[in-house]
Structure 1
């Protein structure tokens, strides 16, 4: 996995340099410190999916280019077979599979997300835009600002993803959900 993180980081660094975007401009745009951004770009720290999405927007490329090094080719449709989505490691307790990596000019990023039961401290994140989550398996506690919402299989939520949020799998079992980031 570390090799894959380094490959993504190298693509980001190369595109940023080609486009003449400074490290300070990129870290400012992402609202992360310069040192943290450099850890991302040097492959020393995994890049959260939400940050990767914002990096792709700043660089003017599809997120899948950063993930795979390949340009999306599909204009009319794309099919992702069960379990074959492009994997995105976000945090140790979250596993993402991109469901439309090969579609060009997407208006949203759909993922299947698996949240493993977590014994460590819950870490919140935020990113520009909106997010829709539909629970496929298990139970999930979604924390948005000071609110805790328990979602079970078949439940869904739509929220402003610029608000600090986090997900916790409940009952000692993984939770799996469809996430669409817009």
Structure 2
């Protein structure tokens, strides 16, 4: 996995340089410190999917380009067969599977996200990113932490929220949870 992180970091750095953006430009846009951004680019810190989405927006490339190094080509439709989406382990607490990486000029990113249960008492790390997010629970139960709220979602439940607020998801009942996430 470390090799994959480094490959993505290298692509981000190269595209930033080709776009004539400075580290400071990117850090300010992402609302992170320059030090944190430099860690993203040198591969010493994993880039959260939400931040990677924002980087893709700033660099005017598809997120799939950053993840895979390949340009999406589909412009009428794309099909992703069950279990065949590009898998990305962007954060230790979540596993992402991109469901539309081949479609060009997407207005949103779609993922199946898997959350493994944590030991009792362990709280998930929160993150935030510009935009909005929609999550639909496919299996299991989730506790969603968002802006000083804790919401329990079960299979078939959904939540739509302003993702600029700190948020996190936690699998409940000692069972893996899976949800469909759309990041806009």
Same fold (TM over 0.5): yes
Return the TM-score normalized by structure 1: 0.97
Deviation of residue 126 (structure 1)? 0.8
Alignment partner, residue 40 of structure 1: 40
Alignment partner, residue 22 of structure 2: 22
Alignment partner, residue 171 of structure 1: 173
CA RMSD of aligned residues (A): 0.9
Return the TM-score normalized by structure 2: 0.96
What do residues 13-38 of structure 1 show as CA deviations (whole Å, max 9, x unaligned)?
Answer: 11111111001111111111111111
Alignment partner, residue 7 of structure 2: 7
* Cα distance in 2, alignment partners of residues 42 and 30 from structure 1: 16
Q: Any conservation in 1 of the 2:136–2:156 contact (CA below 8 Å)?
A: yes
* Cα distance in 2, alignment partners of residues 70 and 4 from structure 1: 14
What do residues 91-131 of structure 1 show as CA deviations (whole Å, max 9, x unaligned)?
Answer: 21100011000000101101000011123332111111111
Q: Specify every segment of 5 or more residues in structure 2 that has no aligned partner in the other structure, as ranges.
A: none
* Cα distance in 1, alignment partners of residues 129 and 152 from structure 2: 21
* Cα distance in 1, alignment partners of residues 55 and 6 from structure 2: 15
* Cα distance in 1, alignment partners of residues 162 and 169 from structure 2: 15
Alignment partner, residue 103 of structure 1: 103
SS at match of 2:29: helix
Deviation of residue 164 (structure 1)? 1.0
* Cα distance in 2, alignment partners of residues 146 and 19 from structure 1: 38
Deviation of residue 148 (structure 1)? 0.7
Q: Any conservation in 2 of the 1:136–1:153 contact (CA below 8 Å)?
A: yes
* Cα distance in 1, alignment partners of residues 176 and 90 from structure 2: 16
Runs of 4+ in 1 over 6 A off after TM superposition: none
